Structure 1
Amino acid sequence: MPQERAPAKYRLIADHLREGILSGDYPAGQPLPSEESLSKQFGVTRPTVRQAVAELRANGLVEVLMGRGMFVRSPHGRPSLTRPRGVRHELDGRFTEADGLRWENAEKPVATRTDAPLALADLLRIPPGEPLFTYQALQTADRGRLRQLHSTYVPFSALVGTKYEDEAPPPAPHLYEALTQLGHELDFTEYVRTRMPLPDQAQSLRLPEGVPLLHIFRVTHGNGTKPLALEEFHIPGDDVELMYRP
């Protein structure tokens, strides 16, 4: 009969801390033992301790505060960042994000032609495979502390009969000014879901292991019923909440 494998060391640490949290030995809002003390207690390296903490963060039991350490997350605690969601139409005609953050592109986005995959085609109400103008960018705010992945998709069919049949439209939010100039009155619908990041997304967003993404789609409608454009956002989901105002 084959021998059972011993549990990984990080799992032993995670189980130890989880038991202490659920039993109340580590109350909500209170600090957990430091990485140094846990590494000495279990005879492991700090990366092993961090792997255990990442598992507890993914379970929603622990939060890590920069410069302060690891704390038991309260079920009623608020995240450190609240981001209003939506688009504001300014008096000067510009469209801006409701969060008021000044997002900058890490590199200048370039329009590429892609064929609409099934999931995007469904949101845009176009046939799968229809060509799209696509922009993709890593964006930062607050001197690089905040990061998000942002994509803009515009179906070719939404631009028939306009000057953008012969030239690429701008990415959002400048896209909205262009659509308004074409005579559209815009409204927006957002869909929010969570999932674990792909490896390249985790690297771009500097996500610790076990931290999920907020995956947001914003669909833009104009005068007709068919959507004109789609924005896609990937946002770190470990210490943020989204706020929608009527």
Structure 2
Amino acid sequence: MPPKNTQPRYRQIADYLREGILNGTFPAGQPLPSEEALAKQFGVTRPTVRQGLSELRASGLVEAIMGRGTFARSPHSRPSFTRPRGVRRASDGRYVEADGIRWTNAEPPVATRTDAPLALADLLRIPPGEPMFTYDALQTADQGNLRQLHRTYVPFSVLVNTKYEEQVPPPAPELYTALAELGHELHFTEYIRTRMPLPDQAQALRLAEGVPLLHVLRVTLGEAEKPLALEEFHLPGDDLELSFRL
């Protein structure tokens, strides 16, 4: 008598579809069985089927297309979006993102005062609890098809003895020009990892259940590798790759 499969049903569905995609039963680009058909085959409800599909979306093996269904993706296929990372200086002196995407803020970012948490204080080489200017923005591009959460941190100590003791500095990328005008030669370091989103992040980025984030921290550095500011990006991690020129 074969051993009973004790895995949760959604995991059984995910394993069945994963094996079919990898062995060619469900070719890349072709639709998978409908939620209704899978629910009937496994004797489960459609929400259970969707939970199994979410696992495969998170691993990049399926793609949901609005109004058409869910399609198999090869593990070797290219993502829909490739975003070059980095900052360059345009001919007019402005600093711009290497990907060339024109982002629009859903609402104008407003400076708020926050205290540096331990992890960010370590990257900025400032004491934990030091006050910082912080800007938050939900940014969209390509008629809302691309979305990212962007946060800028500027420690108060960086602005001592500058005009920004009396006025609020701008958020990045305009911040780069402001720092350059203060005499800083700028360069940048990025740290990238993946993690699961918080509920409000998943909602803002319109992430399906089970889809991870790309979490990018960019530190702006001046002379002697002194950190001047920090940016935090949260990007959808299901159909995106980042590229770097080395």
TM-score (norm 2): 0.90
Q: Aligned pair 1:160/2:160, yes or no?
A: yes
**What is the number of residues matched between the two proteins?**
243
Q: How does 1:86-235 map to 2 (within 5 A)?
A: 86-235=86-235
Q: Using the TM superposition, give the Cα deviation of residue 26 of structure 1 relative to its aligned residue in structure 2, in angstroms.
A: 2.8
SS in 2 for 1:192: strand
**Could you list the runs of 5+ residues in structure 2 that have no partner in the other structure?**
1-5
Greater shift in the superposed pair: 140-149 or 33-42: 33-42
1:18 matched to which residue of 2?
A: 18
1:80 matched to which residue of 2?
A: 80
- Measure the CA separation in 1 of the matches of 2:7 and 2:194: 29
Letter of the aligned partner of 2:232 in structure 1?
E
Q: Using the TM superposition, give the Cα deviation of residue 88 of structure 1 relative to its aligned residue in structure 2, in angstroms.
A: 1.7
**Could you list the runs of 5+ residues in structure 1 that have no partner in the other structure?**
1-5
- Measure the CA separation in 2 of the matches of 1:45 and 1:111: 47
- Measure the CA separation in 2 of the matches of 1:94 and 1:66: 38
SS in 1 for 2:220: strand
- Measure the CA separation in 1 of the matches of 2:182 and 2:67: 50
Q: Using the TM superposition, give the Cα deviation of residue 148 of structure 1 relative to its aligned residue in structure 2, in angstroms.
A: 0.5
Q: Using the TM superposition, give the Cα deviation of residue 167 of structure 1 relative to its aligned residue in structure 2, in angstroms.
A: 1.6
Does the 8 Å CA contact 2:21/2:74 hold for their aligned counterparts?
no
2:3 matched to which residue of 1?
A: none
Identity %: 76
Relative distance call for 1:24 and 1:239 in structure 2 (3 A) is: same
1:34 matched to which residue of 2?
A: 34
SS in 2 for 1:158: helix
What is the Cα-based RMSD across aligned positions, in Å?
2.2
Q: Using the TM superposition, give the Cα deviation of residue 54 of structure 1 relative to its aligned residue in structure 2, in angstroms.
A: 0.2
Letter of the aligned partner of 1:209 in structure 2?
E
SS in 2 for 1:194: strand
Q: Using the TM superposition, give the Cα deviation of residue 13 of structure 1 relative to its aligned residue in structure 2, in angstroms.
A: 2.5
- Measure the CA separation in 2 of the matches of 1:109 and 1:185: 26
Q: Using the TM superposition, give the Cα deviation of residue 71 of structure 1 relative to its aligned residue in structure 2, in angstroms.
A: 3.0
